[in-house]
Amino acid sequence: MGKTTGFMEYKREVPSDRAPLERINDWNEFHLHMPDEDLRTQGARCMDCGVPFCHSGVLISGMASGCPINNLIPEWNDLIYRNHWHQALDRLQKTNNFPEFTGRVCPAPCEGSCTLSSIDPAVTIKNIEVSIVERGFDEGWIVPALPEVRTGKKVAVVGSGPAGLSAAAQLNKAGHSVTVFERADLPGGLLMYGIPNMKLDKRQVVLRRIKIMEEEGIAFVCNTEIGGKEYPVKKLRSEFDAVVVTTGATQPRDLPIDGRNVKGIHFAMEFLTTNTRAVLNGGEDFISAKGKDVIIIGGGDTGTDCVGTSIRHGCNSVTQLEIMPKSPEERASDNPWPEWPKIHKVDYGQEEAAAKFGADPRVYLTTATRFESDENGAVKAVHTVEVTWEKNDKGQYVPQPVPGSEQVRPAQLVLLAMGFLGPEKLLVESFGLELDQRSNIKADFEKYSTNIPGIFAAGDCRRGQSLVVWAFNEGRGAARECDRYLMGATELP
């Protein structure tokens, strides 16, 4: 590396975010950018380690260790340090079709496996990544890249989320004519409607990339659901030489306890989707948290997004119930580097809640037992109980209620953010696709071929709920195998 002692000389620094009490008044992105000179200093912290786990992209103990799309991180860190921004962008785009997305919303498993993080805070990989791509847009280096030759083959991509977009981009690069089908009114899937605008700006970031893809020759057909009467599978298969299914795992996990059917209880994604539509269109048709006591059941990124969105609506209070215990402040002995660090983190939503209401909204080792309604049939309270995790007769850890810990919490809006159970069944049944034991589309990793020749599956609909960066990995892989199927060989990575 250019600065062989940089990791000893410089401390980790990240750009400041907008102040919590300022940013909760709008839907603009809250991340700020660092000056170039400070970014170069951070790039100098990269160690040129002999085994760069940061771009390994492997699963250790069931969790991502390193970048799943194998970004060439040490290379572009060095190029940034040397002030070679255009070359850094070239390296970045070799592995990542959309670094403006991962640089904003990826939890950065690369940083969790950074060699430096075994003794010191990790290199600021994610921040450098998004800075490189935004510099590329600012300088006009990122322009539509049309394929030199068209193969005459037509491919349908069903679903325009992260996996669908990366599959479409790679298939188009190989020269195939690609049409992406999306049932929503705008393309982007999870990137458009599943992630709030303050984390990922829809017009300035998502639609900017969609426009480039359209100029590269990719067609987007929205407001169209494949498998129904409007566009049956038989018609799709007759019009295209191959199909890549990337519909995501959109079937939400429910909480079938007493009172579940009362009004005011919604799945998190319904809440977030209607809100983003209102932000984009300026309408009033959304699930509002204004003036309400909000209880969010479930943690993770989706729960955090519900916290941040509720606060921007002007909620009266917000509480986030998590059935799991609070993570330790530092790595536990059974969670060594380079595993993903399972440590306590305060995300933007919790930071905003603490600034607004004086405390982190999360309540750990607690679960809901009953929803209570008022005289109008609307939720007015959530009954909860604390739990401990104990082994059952099969040796499995299961939650057990703690006697005397029952509590009644006021709530006029309840949001269920407990994850997803796989793809919705309409499309799967219409195609006749086989499912695995976890109710995902059955298709081997790295092969992506389903039980029907010419139909491939990738992303969350195949692997289950996962990270955006894993969806990019799978979309690229499915495109490679689809290209091999169509042409007999492939040059796609």
Cα Rg of the chain (Å, integer): 23
Residue 56 belongs to domain with CATH number: 1.10.1060.10
Q: Are residues 358 and 477 in the same domain?
A: no
Q: What is the distance between the terminal CA atoms of the chain, rounded to a whole angstrom?
A: 26
User: Does 336 share its domain with 472?
Assistant: no
209 vs 350: CA distance, rounded Å: 30
Partner residues linked to 226 by β-bridges: 231
33 and 130 in a single domain? The answer is: yes
Residues 6 or more apart from 70 whose CB is under 8 A from it? 55, 56, 57, 95
Are residue 399 and residue 334 in the same domain, yes or no? Answer: yes
Q: Examine the domain organization and report whether 219 and 232 are in the same domain.
A: yes
pLDDT in tens, the chain (493 residues): 668 899 999 999 999 999 999 999 999 999 999 999 999 999 999 988 888 999 999 999 888 899 999 999 999 999 999 999 999 999 999 999 999 999 999 999 999 999 999 999 999 999 999 999 999 999 999 999 999 999 999 999 999 999 999 999 999 999 999 999 999 999 999 999 999 999 999 999 999 999 999 999 999 999 999 998 889 999 999 999 999 999 999 999 999 999 999 999 999 999 999 999 999 998 889 999 999 999 999 989 999 999 999 999 999 999 999 999 999 999 999 999 999 999 999 999 999 999 999 999 999 999 999 999 999 999 999 999 999 999 999 999 999 999 999 999 999 999 999 999 999 988 899 999 999 999 999 999 999 999 999 999 999 999 999 999 999 999 999 999 999 999 999 999 9
One domain, residues 174 and 230: yes
Quick one: 107 and 56 in the same domain?
yes
Same domain, 203 and 126: no
Q: Does residue 398 share a domain with residue 271? A: yes
Q: Whole-model pTM?
A: 0.95
Report yes or no on 145 lying in a domain.
no
Strands 366-373 and 265-267: unpaired
Give the separation between CA 166 and CA 97, rounded to whole angstroms.
Answer: 6
Whether 199 is covered by a domain: the verdict is yes
- Residue 493 counted as domain residue: no
Q: Measured between alpha carbons, how far is 138 from 141 in angstroms, rounded to an integer?
A: 8
Examine the domain organization and report whether 393 and 374 are in the same domain: yes
- Asked whether 246 and 167 are in contact (CB, 8 A), the reply is yes
Q: Quote the domain boundaries for residue 356.
A: 265-416
Number of structural domains (the chain) is 3
Residue 147 lies in a domain: no
Contact call for residues 55 and 129 (beta carbons, < 8 A): no
Question: Are 207 and 320 contained in the same domain?
Answer: no
Domain closes at, from 139, 165, 192: 139
| Residue 207 belongs to domain with CATH number | 3.50.50.60
Please indicate, yes or no, if residue 202 is contained in any of the structural domains: yes
Question: Given 416, 440, 472, which residue is the final one in a domain?
Answer: 416
- The reply to whether 479 and 452 lie within a common domain is yes
From 366, 396, 416, give the residue that closes a domain: 416
Q: What is the pLDDT of residue 131?
A: 97
